[in-house]
Chain A
Amino acid sequence: MISLALRFGPFAARLETPFGVVVDGLHRLYPDESFIDADEFCDFHVALAPGKFAHRWIRPQARFLIDGTSPFKPLPADQALPMFEWGLNYAIAAQAHQYLVVHAAAIERNGRVAILPGAPGAGKSTLTAALVQRGGWRLLSDELALIRPGDRHVVPLARPINLKNNSIALMRAYAPDAVFSAETHDTAKGTVALMRAPAESIARSHESAPIGWIIFPRWEKDAEARLAPWSRAAGLMEIAHNSMNYSLHGAAGFKLLGDIFAASGCYRFTYGKLDDAMTVFAALA
């Protein structure tokens, strides 16, 4: 059994697992300084355990456990690394209620943050990966934007970016110096690969920033890049729906989102080519 502790943004997690391939993968995806002493305080105590009974050996499985309980069904053992990242997302969404947690990417440039919510397939992660690798934007998060109620800042959570299917080859070509995990096939999301967060983004994990824009991206084949103002009221409703814990924050959560939308631009962004998207975002900040 291997035990390690990992710091990411404001959190730390302790992992116990017999899967050496997961540990190797984490060392590929996180810098050395992210690995902390195993006896340091950790917010999350997780394990990747082998499947039960025959599934230890026949069609081997991995189980994700947090605090000794398993919130997910087991997955094939070769999906253990992405399962760890998905499990961390679950842990943050289920427990980090000191933040308003929104299912969205968050990137920063010149001191202001763009929040990028997106339904699966909207091209959110691909756009985020391109912007942080080549567009001069800093990665704050690929999946979960952490909004701190006190100052309405987004708190960095620079973790690997989860790329799927065609986006993997696209980003390998677009950012040839980026570091990727091995590809995992036949997951519920298709083929997935994790892309390591840029070093500068991880190094600046203590630098929060205020929100300047809320941008709803959508990839459409051959579409021209177009950033169009959108209804703040409709945008607030979308963010509320995309938040993991908006309802828990009650009226304070509504006031927080109201203040954010009052101070931010709200847009819809359609794009077909990453180079065109880079140009639009370069003009934004």
Chain B
Amino acid sequence: MTEAAVTRRIGAFVHWREWDGEIVAYNDRTGDTHHFADLAAWLFRLLTRAPASDEAIAAAAAEEIELPPAIDRDAVIARALDLFARLDLLADDERKDAA
């Protein structure tokens, strides 16, 4: 067994809708409804498709997201992930044992 790799995905208990690139999400655990736009909406959508590691998220962002040079893409993604975690939107089983 090697060190665990962290993957993240949006929990199945989160219901969501998307219009014009913006997301509204209902968390059935907390009863809260949230609105995400821009990079947070992109990241939310990514994490609904499949679990993703930080490395996979960074690679997808580098390929798909264009940001002004002054903006630190990794820092923005880290803040969005932290927000998702604080809002309890991530599935519990995000930590998978690597082979």
User: What is the interface of chain A, defined by CB distance below 8 A to chain B?
Assistant: 231-234, 236-237, 240, 246-247, 250-251, 254-255, 258, 261-262
Contact = CB atoms under 8 A, between A and B. Distances in A.
B24 A233 contact: yes
A261 B37 CA distance: 17
A229 to B, nearest CB: 9
Contacts, number: 44
B interface, size bucket = 10 to 19
Interface string B18-42: 1110111010100101010100000
Contacts of A247: 31
B19 A261 contact: yes
Nearest to B28: A251
A246 B31 CA distance: 10
Contact of A231 (B15, B19, B26, B31): B19
A233 B44 CA distance: 14
Interface of B: 15, 17-20, 22-24, 26, 28, 31, 33, 35, 37
Contacts of B20: 231-233
Contacts of A261: 17, 19
24 contacts: A231-B19, A232-B20, A233-B17, A233-B20, A233-B22, A233-B23, A234-B22, A234-B35, A236-B17, A237-B24, A240-B33, A246-B33, A247-B31, A250-B31, A251-B15, A251-B26, A251-B28, A254-B24, A254-B26, A254-B33, A258-B15, A258-B17, A258-B24, A261-B19
A232 B35 contact: no
Contacts of A254: 15, 24, 26, 33
The residue among B15, B19, B23, B35 with the most chain A CB atoms within 10 A of its own CB is: B19
Contacts of A233: 17-20, 22-24, 35, 37
Nearest to A266: B19
Given A234-B35, A240-B33, A258-B17, A250 B28 contact: yes
Contacts of B31: 247, 250
Given A234-B35, A237-B33, A261-B17, 13 more contacts: A232-B19, A232-B20, A233-B17, A233-B18, A236-B17, A236-B24, A237-B24, A237-B35, A247-B31, A250-B28, A251-B26, A254-B33, A262-B19
